[in-house]
């Protein structure tokens, strides 16, 4: 049976392998699809870590930007205006 940690590593490596050779438009398209959006945060964190290790700066930047945008879009309105 595959452990959660191994599954996270396998998933993140699959995405990294795809992104490694992808063009910028393909990276943009891929990180905006639902399949990417619903990935566990552990997988996204592992991908970001691997992207930075492999010096895939464009990918790391896009993952960070998109994750921040997604976080803001899911922030309840009352939290944005609370003191």
Alpha helices, DSSP H only, in the chain? 4-21, 24-32, 34-37, 41-53, 57-74, 77-80
Number of compact structural domains in the chain: 1
Q: 75 pLDDT band (50/70/90 cuts)?
A: very low
pLDDT tens per residue across span 15-70: 888 888 888 888 888 888 888 877 788 888 888 888 888 788 888 888 888 777 76
Q: 71 pLDDT band (50/70/90 cuts)?
A: low
Quote the pLDDT of residue 45. 82
Quote the pLDDT of residue 27. 83
Residue 3 CA to residue 34 CA, distance in Å, equals 24
What is the extent of the structural domain holding 63?
4-15+23-80
Does the pTM surpass 0.75? The reply is no
């Amino acid at each position: 049976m595959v452990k959660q940690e191994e599954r996270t590593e396998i998933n993140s490596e699959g995405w990294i392998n795809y992104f490694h050779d992808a063009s910028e438009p393909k990276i943009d398209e891929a990180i905006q699809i639902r399949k990417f959006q619903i990935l566990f945060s552990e997988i996204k964190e592992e991908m970001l870590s691997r992207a930075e290790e492999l010096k895939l700066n464009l990918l790391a930047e896009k993952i960070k930007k998109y994750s921040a945008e997604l976080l803001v879009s899911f922030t309840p309105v009352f939290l944005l205006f609370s003191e």
